């Protein structure tokens, strides 16, 4: 049986390496470009690290597209808001749980987060159907979306205001709620920054 010479083995190795490199390089470069785009965009937000960590897993889907970036940021915020509302709503009541004041604050908070969820849903629906060819329509949609997301951010802040600063709510309850609401508020803030960037880029 004929064996391969060292020179033949070297040539085969080089050919295999070139094949692997040529196959992998476009995808690798493309994904790195998308990640760089996300990082650059996140540098314009208040919570850069949270922005990059939350959006980078969707780099291929976003594909350096500002609309997809905005919609993805909103969807992540919506998911977080739904989870927060569900968690806060299920904080134990009654004996050993919430006081009457805390229960009222929790109910108000869940309502505020619910309003935030509706505003985020409206924003996603509008961005999904945006018309690039009609500039006046685009500007109107972006104005509505910016208004809704700003309102959602206000709702997040209002949720925590309900617990007051007068000590009537136990620190452990406030911290429990704050831990979830703060994340939603920061994601909302980041989404708003991305949306503002998208709107200004289109105008330019």
Q: Does some domain include residue 79?
A: yes
Look up the domain containing 49 and give its range.
Answer: 6-203
| Alpha-carbon distances, residue 185 vs 29, 54, 74, 107 (angstroms) | 33, 14, 12, 18
Average pLDDT over residues 189-196: 96
DSSP state of 57: G
Angle at 71 between CA 118 and CA 114, to 5 degrees: 15
CATH number where 85 lies: 1.20.140.40
Provide the number of structural domains found in the chain. 1
Over the stretch 85-130, which tens digit does the pLDDT of each residue have? 999 988 876 556 788 888 888 999 999 999 999 999 999 999 988 8
Q: What is the pTM of this model?
A: 0.80
Residue 80 neighbours by CB distance under 10 Å: 21
Q: Is residue 50, in this structure, part of any structural domain at all?
A: yes
Q: What are phi and psi of 165, to 5 degrees?
A: -120, 10
Q: Quote the pLDDT of residue 48.
A: 96
Asked whether residue 1 is assigned to any structural domain, the reply reads no
Q: What is the pLDDT of residue 132?
A: 64
């Amino acid at each position: 049986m004929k064996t391969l010479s060292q020179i033949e083995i070297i040539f085969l190795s080089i050919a295999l390496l070139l094949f692997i490199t040529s196959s992998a390089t476009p995808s690798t470069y493309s994904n790195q470009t998308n990640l760089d785009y996300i990082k650059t965009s996140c540098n314009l937000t208040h919570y850069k690290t949270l922005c990059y960590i939350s959006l980078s897993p969707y780099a291929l889907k976003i594909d350096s597209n500002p609309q997809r970036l905005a919609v993805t940021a909103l969807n992540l915020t919506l998911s977080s808001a739904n989870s927060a509302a569900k968690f806060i709503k299920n904080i134990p009541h009654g004996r050993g749980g919430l006081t009457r004041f805390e229960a009222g604050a929790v109910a108000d908070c869940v309502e505020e987060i619910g309003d935030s969820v509706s505003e985020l849903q409206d924003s996603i629906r509008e961005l999904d159907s945006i018309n690039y060819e009609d500039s006046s329509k685009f500007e109107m949609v972006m104005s509505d979306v910016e208004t809704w997301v700003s309102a959602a951010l206000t709702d997040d802040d209002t949720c925590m205001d309900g617990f007051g600063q007068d000590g009537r709510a136990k620190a452990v309850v406030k911290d429990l709620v704050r831990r979830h609401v703060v994340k939603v508020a920061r994601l909302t803030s980041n989404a708003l920054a991305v949306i503002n960037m998208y709107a200004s880029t289109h105008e330019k």
